[in-house]
A and B are shown apart, each in its own frame.
With several copies, the nearest count.
Chain A
Amino acid sequence: MFKKLLVANRGEITIRVLRACRELGIPGVAVYSEADRGALHVRYADEAYCIGPAPALESYLNIPRIIEAAQRAGADAIHPGYGFLSENAAFAAACREAGITFVGPSPEAMRLLGDKVEARRVMRGADVPIAPGTDFIEDPAEAVRAAEEIGYPVLIKAAAGGGGRGIRVVNSRQELDQALETARQEALSAFGNAGVFVEKYLDRVRHVEVQFIADRHGTVVALGERDCSVQRRHQKLVEEAPSPAVTPEIRRRLCEAAARGARAAGYENAGTMEFLLDRDGNFYFLEVNTRLQVEHPVTELVTGVDLVVDQIRVAAGEPLGYTQDDVKMVGHAIECRIVAEDPYNNFLPSVGTITFVREPAGPGIRMESALFQGMEVSVYYDSMIAKLIAWGADRDQAIRRAHRALTEFKVLGVHTNIPFHLQLLEDERFRRGDVHTKFLEQEFRLERTLPTDGIDAAFIAAAVLAAERDRRGLQLQAGTNGTAPAAGWRAAGRVAQVRGGIQYRGMGWR
């Protein structure tokens, strides 16, 4: 086992990995930018080293500084978390060169799977279903032929893209030439690689992904699927396991495909194979995420596996210790990504100082966060500030618990998307499991209503506050971001309605 492990990341995922280290008895090392000196991940770690100024390019993406910190600390392993350098093959290679174990797949596997065209080729060879499409398109005429054959609409995708970036939808022949040219230029400027390919555009599909983990000794285990269809602009917001649309038979096929694909790619450590699932139960390979995912806890809650502990163990050369037959999914788990943004103002990122925080707890609730009173939510980093994960014996209970926990969650100082999550979990379509990747954008509208009984309570509260100020000079914090009194608000009788099985009365911490 490792003598010391450095986490090349920040925020909740760093604490997640440091917790695993502590449970394994491995000293944990944090790195931090100048903006993060007081951050929780720095305080949680046994050791901490500054790796540069606030901008990520100069710190959390700064490979030499991170390797240097690891060497100074005497760390023999680096966990990259997600984001930042986690899918950067050059970083994995730099670790190897420095004699440090990178907790993740080999640089070769990362490179192979990072190229979408190569990845499609490998998966096709491993008999993993892929969407109809092409290899690299060199000649525009080739694209025209392919599109005609596949049928419009089609996608033009950057070979080096990923996570929804570098994708254009083409609806007809007329749009094709222009789209192809633009896509190539964009791909070149964004990824340094002009390679593009054409793929069938699948509509009203679900995003379903399979978590897998592989050790050095030939064991590959698929840990069931997650459903991440609730997205806005390719940004996942809610993930759950199992998928409401996946039958045991589809699950078996998905898991087998993922395991075959991982073997074919020579994959070691944890990874995720993403698929699109259509209404007929057909699924198509999308891409492999060669790292730990944000949403890994939902898999942990239904399988009982500790993915981060297992990542570290297999990176150290230990055998996984369990096989596909040992994997049982029990109950249902759902994750809500809590993001610092203003749901009522076009989901604009919200920055500021957290002046108060109370996180949910109790039965079935797991929180992953690095929140504390006094924390700065800055422009420099991702705006996800916490993950709320709920487990229930069935999907309904998981949703009820998540909803209950959301009502307990209090964050002051920045706006959050908690109101969005509450309404989503109350939505009948979501509660039926009837969503697809465009559901949020096409079918869901955030309400701007205020509960009537809350209106009178707010009036009473304001009257008392006004009287206290006039009498005794009560002091309060100034409003965040100079929020304008929301003109669009209207009162609505949401009280005592029961919608989607969740009663509004009893919203508590009201």
Chain B
Amino acid sequence: MAVTYQLQIGEEKRTAEVQQDEDGRVRVRLDNRWYDVEVQRINGGEVFSLIVEGESWEFTAVDTPGGFEVIIGPHVYPVAVGGMKTARKAGGAAAGADGTWTLTAPMSGVVVDVYVSQGDQVEQGAVLMVLEAMKMNNELQAQKSGTVQTVHVTKGARVDRGAPLITVA
């Protein structure tokens, strides 16, 4: 039995095929190359051990819309997975289906300053506002270039974690 997926990390893309024979041996093809693979979930928990032709990797993984985040050492690999039958529904506050992006409050806090208004052009990485939380002023940046569509909050407002703050179209 074999299944095929389209995988992507940043600019890198692979077509992957996963084969498992009767005695549990797993082989994975990335584009044209086959790998002998052994995976073991440790204690049914967060940690997986992966051995790929002698190379030993330890990873953990979490669900994301449209794929997984695979965490190896200090690095987080966001893997988009195409072709999965049972993918978690895409969506969520961060990335709208309509191509907009909404900045949400990463934690509860108080809005100290808002630097943009509706209609402003913003570049990815620009500081949009300052949220005070954990005794610190935290500058929140645009993760997308575009036009400010909505500013949901005003200076001095208390916001809860996850509250929409600014939408960029």
A and B touch in the complex (CB under 8 A): yes
State whether the Cβ of A323 lies closer than 8 Å to any Cβ in chain B.
no
**Count of chain B residues near A, Cβ 8 A:** 84
Q: Is the CB of B78 within 8 A of A356?
A: no
| Stretch in contact with the other chain, from B36-44, B111-119, B147-155 | B36-44
Determine the distance from Cα of A510 to Cα of B47 in the docked complex, in whole angstroms.
12
Query: B54-82, CB under 8 A of A: which get 1 and which 0?
Result: 11111111111001111111111111110
Residues on A with beta carbons closer than 8 Å to the beta carbon of B7: 459, 462-463
Shortest CB–CB separation between residue B86 and chain A, in angstroms? 5
Which of B45, B135, B144 has the most C-beta atoms of chain A within 10 angstroms of its own C-beta?
B135
Q: Is the CB of B28 within 8 A of A460?
A: yes
Contacts A458-B70, A463-B18, A478-B62; A346 near B141 (Cβ below 8 A): yes
Residues on B with beta carbons closer than 8 Å to the beta carbon of A462: 5, 7, 16, 61, 67-68, 70, 77, 79, 81
State whether the Cβ of A324 lies closer than 8 Å to any Cβ in chain B.
no
Contacts A349-B138, A454-B75, A466-B18; A460 near B10 (Cβ below 8 A): no
Contacts A38-B42, A43-B49, A374-B42; A467 near B20 (Cβ below 8 A): yes
Q: Is the CB of A479 within 8 A of B69?
A: yes
Determine the distance from Cα of A422 to Cα of B75 in the docked complex, in whole angstroms.
11
State whether the Cβ of A373 lies closer than 8 Å to any Cβ in chain B.
yes
Q: Is the CB of A478 within 8 A of B107?
A: no
Q: Is the CB of A479 within 8 A of B56?
A: no
Determine the distance from Cα of A342 to Cα of B74 in the docked complex, in whole angstroms.
12
Residues on A with beta carbons closer than 8 Å to the beta carbon of B161: 351, 379
Q: Is the CB of B56 within 8 A of A459?
A: no
Q: Is the CB of B30 within 8 A of A458?
A: no
Residues on B with beta carbons closer than 8 Å to the beta carbon of A470: 3, 84-86
Q: Is the CB of A489 within 8 A of B85?
A: no
CB closest residue in chain A, given B67: A462
Residues on A with beta carbons closer than 8 Å to the beta carbon of B52: 456-457, 460
State whether the Cβ of A176 lies closer than 8 Å to any Cβ in chain B.
no
Q: Is the CB of A480 within 8 A of B77?
A: no
State whether the Cβ of B157 lies closer than 8 Å to any Cβ in chain A.
no
Residues on A with beta carbons closer than 8 Å to the beta carbon of B21: none
State whether the Cβ of B92 lies closer than 8 Å to any Cβ in chain A.
yes
CB closest residue in chain A, given B77: A458
Q: Is the CB of A491 within 8 A of B75?
A: no
Q: Is the CB of A487 within 8 A of B124?
A: yes
Residues on B with beta carbons closer than 8 Å to the beta carbon of A491: 9-12
Residues on A with beta carbons closer than 8 Å to the beta carbon of B63: 476-479
Q: Is the CB of B16 within 8 A of A459?
A: yes
Which residue of B62, B109, B134, B135 is within 8 Å of A480 (Cβ)?
Answer: B62
Residues on B with beta carbons closer than 8 Å to the beta carbon of A467: 3, 5, 18, 20
Q: Is the CB of B9 within 8 A of A30?
A: no
Q: Is the CB of A349 within 8 A of B57?
A: no
State whether the Cβ of A46 lies closer than 8 Å to any Cβ in chain B.
yes
State whether the Cβ of A485 lies closer than 8 Å to any Cβ in chain B.
yes
Residues on A with beta carbons closer than 8 Å to the beta carbon of B71: 412
State whether the Cβ of B106 lies closer than 8 Å to any Cβ in chain A.
yes
State whether the Cβ of B104 lies closer than 8 Å to any Cβ in chain A.
yes
Determine the distance from Cα of A479 to Cα of B135 in the docked complex, in whole angstroms.
26
Shortest CB–CB separation between residue B124 and chain A, in angstroms? 7
Which residue of A379, A419, A479, A490 is within 8 Å of B10 (Cβ)?
Answer: A490
Determine the distance from Cα of A37 to Cα of B17 in the docked complex, in whole angstroms.
24
Shortest CB–CB separation between residue B72 and chain A, in angstroms? 5
Determine the distance from Cα of A222 to Cα of B72 in the docked complex, in whole angstroms.
42
Which residue of A372, A473, A480 is within 8 Å of B86 (Cβ)?
Answer: A473
Q: Is the CB of B40 within 8 A of A37?
A: yes
State whether the Cβ of B100 lies closer than 8 Å to any Cβ in chain A.
no
Shortest CB–CB separation between residue B136 and chain A, in angstroms? 7
CB closest residue in chain B, given A489: B10
Shortest CB–CB separation between residue A181 and chain B, in angstroms? 20
Q: Is the CB of B104 within 8 A of A482?
A: yes
Residues on A with beta carbons closer than 8 Å to the beta carbon of B85: 470
Query: A146-183, CB under 8 A of B: which get 1 and which 0?
Result: 00000000000000000000000000000000000000
State whether the Cβ of A350 lies closer than 8 Å to any Cβ in chain B.
yes
Residues on B with beta carbons closer than 8 Å to the beta carbon of A482: 92-94, 104
Q: Is the CB of B78 within 8 A of A355?
A: no
Determine the distance from Cα of A487 to Cα of B12 in the docked complex, in whole angstroms.
12
State whether the Cβ of A72 lies closer than 8 Å to any Cβ in chain B.
yes
CB closest residue in chain B, given A29: B54
Residues on A with beta carbons closer than 8 Å to the beta carbon of B30: 456, 459-460, 463
Top 7 nearest A-B pairs (CB, nearest first) are A374-B43, A458-B77, A463-B16, A485-B78, A462-B79, A467-B18, A48-B56
CB pairs A–B below 8 angstroms (26 shown): A38-B43, A43-B58, A46-B55, A49-B54, A373-B43, A374-B42, A381-B134, A407-B74, A419-B75, A450-B75, A457-B59, A460-B50, A460-B52, A463-B5, A464-B18, A466-B3, A466-B5, A470-B3, A470-B85, A478-B88, A485-B67, A486-B10, A489-B9, A490-B11, A491-B10, A491-B12
- A: which residues have CB within 8 A of B? 30, 37-38, 42-43, 45-49, 72-73, 342, 345-346, 348-351, 355-356, 372-374, 379-383, 406-407, 410, 412, 418-419, 422, 450-451, 453-467, 469-470, 473, 476-487, 489-491, 507-510
